[in-house]
Amino acid sequence: MSGEFTDIKSLTYDEVMAFVTSIGEKPFRGKQLYEWMHVHRVASYQEMTNLSKAFRQQLEDTTTYTSLTKVDCQISKEDGTRKYLFALADGNVVESVLMRYKHGNSVCVSSQVGCRMGCRFCASTLDGLLRNLTASEILDQIYAIERDTKERVSNVVVMGTGEPMDNYDNIVRFVKLLSDEHGANISQRNITVSTCGIVPRMRQLADEKLQITLALSLHACNQQKRLELMPVANKYDIHEVVDACRYYFEQTGRRITFEYSLVGGVNDSSQDAEELTALLQGINCHVNLIPVNPIKERDYVQSNRAVVEAFKNKLEKNGINVTIRREMGRDIDGACGQLRRKHISET
């Protein structure tokens, strides 16, 4: 958001109405404006052809209309996955990914420019946090991809660069806008927010009583192992984090997803699977196993296929719901955050 200007696309429907009437326009102008932004998703005020020139000028003068510029787009020949690099108005760049599934298109959005969580295996955090994204800038990633592909997006996961619970207010605003029936109207049940485990914010999110899925990046079966991979564990013990997940389920009735990146020789033994089973006892959940995506800055390696299968079978035998995440766009990949890093080092 720039200075004193109103970030118009981050305003809720009611806030747009209030804003429009505050500058002396009729409420139905607010409805039109909101539809241009969130239904037709135009890239600028110029395209809002049924608004008067004077009103558009007034909007230009008093508000910010965010919009992204496509800098790069890599398309997988294997499965059509598209990895986008977008420039924000201030020149920073963010990554977003479109994945095509049988059940529809899913977009993975970034929530921050960089990240300060420091997870050992993750490329997005290597240069730290530059700034939070506004709700509008997170929405823009979806809108820009829909414009680029001329295809609808049905599912959204907040699993790109950044820690959404470290940008809490903007994420909640984003979810409300994305699921608003006046606008993009994507069901909350088709939205997933992934966190490394910031306990107070997870509990606060539970109290919002949204119908979104909460995914927890667990990646370890006990506190000691989690500490080795995720510095955030210094602040919140693994049991506190798992309790916050239970609380989320109690408040929302939404089944928790646990993400578990398998790192060769680090967290993939049969003993790890047993401990994980005990840790998740009695939680209505689903475990998503992700073969770690090696980054060149660290020497972590993927577990081999047989180890991944054995880990999955053990959990299944123990009555845990589990899937191995299909690796989309392997040929264009590089882990999360690597396209952005490549771009930054080249420019």
Going by C-alpha positions, the residue among 242, 151, 137 that lies closest to residue 197 is 242
336 a catalytic residue = yes
Q: Is residue 145 within the footprint of ligand SAH (CB under 6 A)? A: no
Q: Is residue 195 within the footprint of ligand SAH (CB under 6 A)? A: yes
Indicate which single residue of 93, 196, 328, 332 sits in contact with ligand SAH (rule: CB under 6 A). Answer: 196
Q: Is 209 left (phi over 0), alpha (psi -120 to 50) or beta?
A: left
Nearer to ligand SAH, 160 or 183 (CB): 160
Indicate which single residue of 11, 99, 159, 339 sits in contact with ligand SAH (rule: CB under 6 A). Answer: 159
Q: Tell me the window of 10-18, 94-102, 264-272, 286-294 that interacts with ligand SAH (CB under 6 A).
A: 286-294
User: 253 Cβ partners below 8 Å, 6+ apart?
Assistant: none
Indicate which single residue of 20, 48, 119, 276 sits in contact with ligand SAH (rule: CB under 6 A). Answer: 119
Q: Is residue 308 within the footprint of ligand SAH (CB under 6 A)? A: no
Residue 74: what are its φ and ψ, rounded to 5°?
-100, 130
Q: How far is the CB of 230 from ligand SAH (least distance, A)?
A: 8
Token pair in block for residue 141? 């990633």
Going by C-alpha positions, the residue among 115, 110, 113 that lies closest to residue 128 is 115
Per-residue exposure over 220-238, b if at least 16 CB sit within 10 Å of its own CB, e if not = bbeeebbeebbbbbeebeb
- By CB under 6 A, the residues from 6 to 45 that bind ligand SAH are none
Indicate which single residue of 139, 315, 335, 339 sits in contact with ligand SAH (rule: CB under 6 A). Answer: 335
* Strand-strand pairing, 191-195 and 213-217: parallel
Token pair in block for residue 172? 């909640």
Q: Which residue has the tokens 């006892």?
A: 281
Nearer to ligand SAH, 17 or 292 (CB): 292
Nearer to ligand SAH, 82 or 226 (CB): 226
Q: Is residue 194 within the footprint of ligand SAH (CB under 6 A)? A: yes
What count of Cα atoms within 13 Å lies in the side-chain half-sphere of residue 234? 8
228, 275, 336, 346: which is the annotated catalytic residue?
336
Indicate which single residue of 63, 64, 167, 217 sits in contact with ligand SAH (rule: CB under 6 A). Answer: 217
Indicate which single residue of 336, 339, 340, 341 sits in contact with ligand SAH (rule: CB under 6 A). Answer: 336
DSSP 211: -
Angle made by CA atoms 100, 184, 333, in degrees to the nearest 5: 30
- By CB under 6 A, the residues from 72 to 91 that bind ligand SAH are none
- Quote the CA–CA distance of 241 and 246 in Å, as a whole number: 9
Q: Is residue 137 within the footprint of ligand SAH (CB under 6 A)? A: no
| Residues forming the active site | 95, 336
Residue numbers at the binding site for ligand SAH (CB under 6 A) = 117, 119, 121-122, 159, 163, 194-196, 217, 259, 261, 290, 292-293, 295, 335-336
